Structure 1
Amino acid sequence: MIARLTGELAAKAPPYVLVDVHGVGYEVQVPMSTFYNLPELGAKVTLLTQFIVREDAQLLFGFLTAGERESFRELIKISGVGPRIALALLSGLNTEELAQAVSAQDASRLVKVPGVGKKTAERLLLELKGKLAPVLSAPGFSVANDAQGDILQALVALGYSDKEAQAALKALPADVSVSDGIKLALKSLAR
């Protein structure tokens, strides 16, 4: 599974971006919330990703924050909500607005998003109730440097959730090496 990409931003054409990682170009679909916060072409970019394999396609979705990616993952778990609608929701509402709409059970905010009808909005509110609040109560989390990104990726690969891995990462010193960071994070997670 592809969990993160770091490379040069080669092209931008909503909702797609092209990230050149050492000569390999990855076409990544991103929500508009991520698209508007991308650096200029040619700059280095790091995207947290979700890789989806279907019978007819292999799709890669990218996000600047772990909160966006976690919201996307929760959305696509819902019956009748695929990646296209999940991207539309994250493009029309930021993660905080989505969490507020779910906690207030406000279907009118969701139906304003193209592709989301009344029934889908009601299903979203029902199935997301209590699931987005813990993910979004913390401010958006982004990876500060490559070492932290590698530590985060290692913890997720070891079976820890994004939330657990991020909490452990926040407790580490900013200048920690990857190997020392993994050891310290595992010690803190074992408590």
Structure 2
Amino acid sequence: MIGRIRGILLEKAPGHVLVECSGLGYEIDIPYTTFFHLPDAGQEVTLHTHFAVREDAQSLFGFASRLDRDLFRLLIKVNGVGPKLAVGILSGLDAQQFIRCVEVKDVNALVKLPGVGKKTAERLLIEMADRIGQLEGQFVPTIPDTPAASGGPGNQPPTGPDPRDEAEAALIALGYKPQEAAKAISKVAEPEMTSEMLIRLALKNMIPAG
């Protein structure tokens, strides 16, 4: 089991990263809530990981906090929830927000997540109510925004691909319909915003914390 990786962040994009550790490059799938906290490429990064092995694939999933990783492991034990859906859930809600939804039985917040219907949301609330107690006692860190994601004065105007196109593509990859993605981005878009900023704000508006 690979439980944690610390190395140099070689590449990052919404949904996945490439991290070099001891001469090896690890391709790691990540939720968007983790993507927002990544440092710039070339800097050191630490990710709490889960290694999943299936007959047809081996996948490594990474998370900014141990709490997010441990919640991911509980989510994939829920009937009908696989790693892809669990990553989607943690892309829209971080661990603290999800736990809050379970505590107040907020079905509406869960059904707004792509791939989560009403029956799945109700199943999550029922099964996770008994399981989130396993997370009690863990320290929940407040991770400061990186300059790239905070929208601070140090940001430079984006170059290369259109950030709006990248943000829309990221939301579509997460499971939102193209029309929903385009509408969400257009509502928050302002000049000189990066794709990371657009995704963060769009998800915040689409999925209230409860």
Shared fold, TM over 0.5:
yes
> Per-residue displacement from partner, 1:120-161 (whole Å, max 9, x unpaired)?
10110110013225515644259xxxxxxxxxxxxxxxxxxx
- TM-score under structure 1 length normalisation: 0.71
Q: Which runs of 5+ in 1 are unaligned?
A: 143-191
Q: Which runs of 5+ in 2 are unaligned?
A: 143-210
Q: Specify the alignment match of 2:90 in structure 1.
A: 90
Pairing of 1:36-115 with structure 2 (within 5 A): 36-115=36-115
- TM-score under structure 2 length normalisation: 0.64
Secondary structure in 2 matching 1:129: helix
Cα separation, partners in 2 of 1:137 and 1:32, compared to 1, 3 Å: farther
CA shift for structure 1 position 22: 2.1
CA shift for structure 1 position 105: 1.2
Give the distance between the partners of 2:130 and 2:55, measured in 1 at CA: 32
Give the AA of the match of 2:79.
Answer: S
Cα separation, partners in 2 of 1:136 and 1:11, compared to 1, 3 Å: farther
Give the distance between the partners of 1:48 and 1:95, measured in 2 at CA: 14
Aligned residues: 142
Give the AA of the match of 1:46.
Answer: T
Q: Which has the higher contact order (CA 8 A, sep 6+)?
A: 2
Contact 1:99 1:136 in 2 (8 A): no
Q: Specify the alignment match of 1:18 in structure 2.
A: 18
Give the distance between the partners of 2:31 and 2:120, measured in 1 at CA: 19
Contact 2:13 2:35 in 1 (8 A): no
Give the AA of the match of 2:33.
Answer: S
Secondary structure in 2 matching 1:73: helix
Q: Once superposed, what is the RMSD of the aligned Cα atoms?
A: 1.6
Quick check: 97-106 or 133-142, which moved more? 133-142
Percent identity between the aligned chains? 49
Q: Specify the alignment match of 1:130 in structure 2.
A: 130
Give the distance between the partners of 1:66 and 1:101, measured in 2 at CA: 19
Contact 1:67 1:136 in 2 (8 A): no
Secondary structure in 2 matching 1:46: strand
Runs of 4+ residues deviating >4 angstroms = none
Give the distance between the partners of 2:65 and 2:35, measured in 1 at CA: 12
CA shift for structure 1 position 17: 0.2
Give the AA of the match of 2:40.
Answer: E
